[in-house]
Structure 1
Amino acid sequence: MAAQRLVVIGGDAAGMSAASQARRFRTPDELEIVAFERGHFASYSACGIPYWIGGQVAGRDKLIARTPEEHRARGIDLRMRTEVMEIDPDRGRVRTRDLESGTEEWTGWDRLVIATGARPVRPPIPGIGAPGVHGVQNLDDGQSLLTTLDALGPAGGRRRAVVVGAGYIGVEMAEALLHHGFEVTVLNRGEQPMATLDPDMGRLVHTAMDGLGITTVNRAEVTAVRTGDDGRVRAVATAAAEYPADVVVLGIGVAPETTLARAAGLPTGEYGGLLTDLSMRVRGRDAIWAGGDCVEVLDLVSGRDRHIPLGTHANKHGQIIGANIGGGYGTFPGVVGTAVSKVCDLEIARTGLREKDATAAGLQYVTATVESTSRAGYYPDASVMTVKILAERGTGRLLGLQIVGREGAAKRVDVAAVALTAGMTVERMTMLDLGYAPPFSPVWDPVLVAARKAVRAVTAAG
């Protein structure tokens, strides 16, 4: 019996996890695996790019989990610099173009995995394509930015950087540019930085960034990128002011890259991501799966589909897809929206719903905010953190939690992530048996202190 063929579009986390997992289940005689990647790199950590640029990670290769040669040695025909131009689901084939030679060809498939990731948001403003304006979506982007930073010369003279956007990538890149000796301005069109937090928690991030020497300008809608006589960026303009810049980094966010999928008539959701069932199979298509940043996933708290582009999800999607294609079984039940970040020594974390998410979902809720410390107050180097919790009015069900603090703050969010997944109430949370010793926590962990206050808020609200 001839081997079936699995074609994978995309050579990063979801795509190559799916290919590798399928290979564990099926030999090359049983399943031929062909993967197409349009870039120069495969299986790398995009999340690590700001830390490579900032110097905390010693070199680009540290971010590469597995090289193309290693994938090929494991029986996966990974074709680099090859872009898929068209998906023909009715005839079971894809049209590809070799980006070096320009050669095009059709490749048939019995099973297809779409792992095309996400594309950076680049608003159509004048000058955004000028030299010196950089995104940081992939390793090629990171290398291009480092080349620009090196060309601007060593620290010592006045060098100015503008970061457009104050989400995870924006604040992480602000830190990276500080490490390179730049004066950094962050332009944020929102009310406060970190729109993944409620504004009152984002305000804490703003204050801390100011203290780190980062200038953050809120409600700043970029209208143009100004260039000099040499065509390179020289400033970023908003409706209210102009900010000088030797380099500009875009951290505006990403959108699902589903251009091919939509052209092939595959279903997409409210955020433009592909829609799948629990097995990560594209809805209505028996032989097509999708995973990673190009899909929407179920939010277990709100019950709605959301687009949450994170490498943790992408790797899980790939494992499940590969198992299902290879003859095993797996499902992806959904997410609660957990994410952590940092800028210098400031740690930022969230899980579950923000206030506006709860309102959009039609939920009535109460909130509670507390200040506590990372260690027992008498233990050296205890740092202050702020914890905010959302609970459903009436039932007391945990809806979300946010943390802003220093060392020891961010990973506490994992307790709430587990509680959300389990559908716990804040009252039940107060009795969680968490580890305690003065170097690690106060007697009452900050998350439990917030839960206790939330219980009182639920009771008071009736």
Structure 2
Amino acid sequence: MNMSRARERLVVIGGDAAGMSAASQARRLKGPDELEIVAFERGHFTSYSACGIPYWVGGDVTDRDRLIARTPEEHRARDIGLRLRTEVTELDLDGQRVRARDVDTGEESWTSYDQLVIATGARPIRPDMPGADAAGVHGVQTLDDGQALLDTLEGTRGRRAVVVGAGYIGVEMAEALINRGYDVTVVNRGSEPMSTLDPDMGCLVHEAMEGLGITMVNDAEVTKILTSEDGRVRAVVTQDREFPADVVVLGIGVRPETALAQAAGLPLGPHGGLLTDRSMRVRGHENIWAGGDCVEVLDLVSGQDRHIPLGTHANKHGQVIGTNIGGGYATFPGVVGTAVSKVCDLEIARTGLREKDAHRVGLRFESVTIESTSRAGYYPNASPMTVKMLAEHRTGRLLGVQIVGREGAGKRVDIAAVALTAGMTAEQMTTLDLGYAPPFSPVWDPVLVAARKAAAKVLGSL
């Protein structure tokens, strides 16, 4: 600790969910006379919902500012020294200081710290191919990215869009572009969209996307992006086809933004994310903390570290970090991998392991798939729902659940997320006392129908 100052200084790198949650929570527990807080953010915005960007681009959210939970002015009013448009370029761990550069002026300076929070987030994957950095090619991870894409859409005469990748971002951006009147083609390397699902469930998403008028191209690898004489994108090329494009959105996924951490010698996991203990302290470093999309987290089902970039985790990480820095005690035990999304009115949800995840960690399992409805079959507007469940061979321990259906389907995954966290078996799930009334579910909720079938299959395999 630097004893030349009467108070500690907390330096935060990254002004979104994890970083500013940590700063805000630390401020709640320690006043300005005890703790000085300096936060660096290279963009224009703080504390915003990146998950809401596709809905802003698509027009469901009409005002960008509605995605901002707390403005820079609000943070500063709480005695958090926030420096926008300032990028940290180097960590000096021995000297306990960071070098920062003003993005607009290029001016550089060093800032010392007693406690350091690394919340640098993740960056969109840009394929290493000709044309990937051309004008009109966009990754979508930050509000600045979203604004840049909107500027392109408003300034482009053509109405042809190609989305590369069909994960959460790719699927959601495809719908957003359809809503804006574009002809949309999705080029997907996998056999079906949504690789977070097993292919048999991803097929249901495929059908829904084509029903929206989206052209799905599966099992296709993009090899290059062609440009016009003015340097703007004009087409996306795969092994055997060419797709004209006036705008391209990269939905290939993201990687942890850990170049700073790696250069400083901080420990990284197999997916490139920072490794922390349960208190979110970087392993082997007493006064350095990390959270959000730049870290790896423990998967409670597989027992392995994973990179799962979600705002829900980032906010929890920040709360844990801020509590510990502020003198309290908190831990983040891990995740079960729960996520939910939608394509138009089709809801897509998953938690736990897919079949290939279970195979990879050496788990034998039984798999069942059931068809049910969101409400009692006789009640108006009951909609179909498909539930897939994986249970461990012999023990019957729940391993994973995937749900695809219409209204009322997606949030049912929370039942399974709680069961996974509690380590329940499929048979134990069948006795859960869930709420019932015809407008909300059949007598046997679809998740419990799947649990009954899974429990029976486990018993039959003994």
TM-score > 0.5 by shorter chain: yes
Deviation of 1:459 after TM superposition, in Å, equals 1.2
Contact 2:123 2:257 in 1 (8 A): yes
1:33 to 2:32 alignment = no
Q: Which residue of 2 aligns with 1:435?
A: 435
Cα separation, 2, equivalents of 1:361 and 1:64? 39
Tell me the equivalent position of 1:131.
135
User: Residues 162 and 247 of structure 2 are in contact (CA less than 8 Å); yes or no, is this contact kept in structure 1?
Assistant: yes
Work out the CA distance in 2 between the residues paired with 1:148 and 1:266: 38
Q: Would you say 1:42 and 2:46 are equivalent positions?
A: yes
Residue aligning to 1:280: 280
Once the 2 structures are TM-superposed, how far is the Cα of residue 15 of structure 1 from its aligned partner? 0.2
Q: Which amino acid aligns with 2:381?
A: D
Post-superposition offset of 1:131? 1.2
Residue 147 of structure 2 corresponds to 143
Q: CA RMSD in A?
A: 0.9
Cα deviation, residue 254, structure 1: 0.3
d(CA) in 2 for partners of 1:163, 1:318: 32
Q: Secondary structure at the match of 2:56?
A: helix
Deviation at 1:152, TM superposition (A): 2.6
Q: In the aligned structure 2, how far is the partner of 1:272 from the partner of 1:393?
A: 32
Instruction: Give the CA deviation at 1:241.
Output: 0.6
Give the aligned partner of residue 172 of structure 2.
172
**CA drift at 1:160:** 1.3
One-letter code aligned to 2:394? G
Deviation at 1:129, TM superposition (A): 1.1
Contact 2:163 2:248 in 1 (8 A): yes
Secondary structure in structure 1 of the residue aligned to 2:62: coil
Instruction: Determine the C-alpha separation between the residues in 2 that align with 1:97 and 1:141.
Output: 20
* AA matched with 2:194: M
Which structure 2 residues correspond to residues 8-87 of structure 1 after superposition, within 5 A? 8-87=12-91
Please, what TM-score do these two structures have when normalized by structure 1? 0.98
CA-CA distance at 1:106 after TM superposition:
0.8
Secondary structure of 1:293's partner?
A: coil
1:190-247 CA-partner distances (Å, limit 9, x unpaired): 1110000011111111112111211111111001111123321111100021111111
Where does residue 104 of structure 1 map in the other structure?
108
Query: Could you tell me how far apart the structure 2 residues matched to 1:224 and 1:135 are?
Result: 16
Confirm or deny that 1:4 pairs with 2:3. Answer: no
Distance 1:358 1:214 in 2: 32
- What corresponds to 1:231 in structure 2? 231
Find the aligned partners of 1:229 and 1:273 in 2 and give their Cα distance: 39
Q: Letter of the aligned partner of 1:29 in structure 2?
A: D
SS in 2 for 1:401: strand
Q: Could you list the runs of 5+ residues in structure 2 that have no partner in the other structure?
A: none
Comparing 97-106 and 13-22, the one that deviates more: 97-106
| Deviation >6 Å, runs of 4+ | none
Distance in 1 (CA, whole Å) between partners of 2:55 and 2:322 is: 30
Structure 2 CA distance for aligned equivalents of residues 109 and 173 of structure 1: 40
Residue 379 of structure 1 aligns with an amino acid whose one-letter code is: Y
Identity of aligned residues (%): 76
Aligned to 1:251: 251
Which amino acid is the alignment partner of residue 419 of structure 2? A
Residue 389 in structure 1 maps to residue 389 in structure 2: yes
Q: Which position in structure 2 is the counterpart of 1:419?
A: 419
The question of 1:320 aligning with 2:324 is answered no
Q: Is the 8 A contact 2:183 2:214 kept in 1?
A: yes
Specify the SS of the correspondent of 2:126: coil
Distance (whole Å) between structure 1 residues aligned to residue 273 and residue 251 of structure 2: 20
Partner of 1:457: 457
Three-state SS of the structure 2 residue aligned to 1:292 is: coil
For the 8 Å contact 2:208–2:343, the answer to whether it is kept is no
The SS at the match of 1:100 is coil
2:297 touches 2:306 (CA, 8 Å); kept in 1? yes
Aligned-partner Cα distance in 1 for 2:216–2:404 = 17
1:159 and 1:95 map into 2 onto residues whose CA distance is 44
Give the counterpart letter for 2:262 in structure 1: R
Q: Which runs of 5+ in 1 are unaligned?
A: none
Q: Distance in 2 between matches of 1:38 and 1:229?
A: 32
Residues of 2 paired with 1:251 and 1:45: CA distance? 17
Q: Is the counterpart of residue 122 in structure 1 residue 126 in structure 2?
A: yes
1:16-60: CA deviation from partner (whole Å, max 9, x where unpaired): 000000001101010000000011111111000000001111211
C-alpha separation in 1, matches of 2:403 and 2:34: 49
Aligned twin of 1:365: 365
Q: Secondary structure at the match of 1:439?
A: coil
Counterparts of 1:371 and 1:61 in 2: how far apart (Å)? 41
What CA distance in whole angstroms lies between the structure 1 residues aligned with 2:21 and 2:318?
Answer: 5
Per the alignment, residue 240 of structure 1 pairs with: 240
Q: Which amino acid aligns with 2:438?
A: P
Given that 2:379 and 2:438 are in contact with CA atoms closer than 8 Å, whether structure 1 keeps it comes out as: yes
| 1:123-165 superposed Cα distances (whole Å, 9 cap, x missing partner) | 1111111111111111111111111111235xxxx72111000
Counterparts of 1:263-412 in structure 2 under 5 Å?
Answer: 263-412=263-412
* Structure 1 residue 385: Cα displacement: 0.9
Question: Helix, strand or coil: the match of 1:395?
Answer: coil
Q: Distance in 2 between matches of 1:109 and 1:272?
A: 25
Corresponding residue for residue 156 of structure 2: 152
Q: CA deviation at 1:399?
A: 0.2
- SS of 2:277's equivalent? coil
Deviation at 1:279, TM superposition (A): 0.2
Distance (whole Å) between structure 2 residues aligned to residue 71 and residue 433 of structure 1: 43
Number of the residue aligned with 1:262:
262
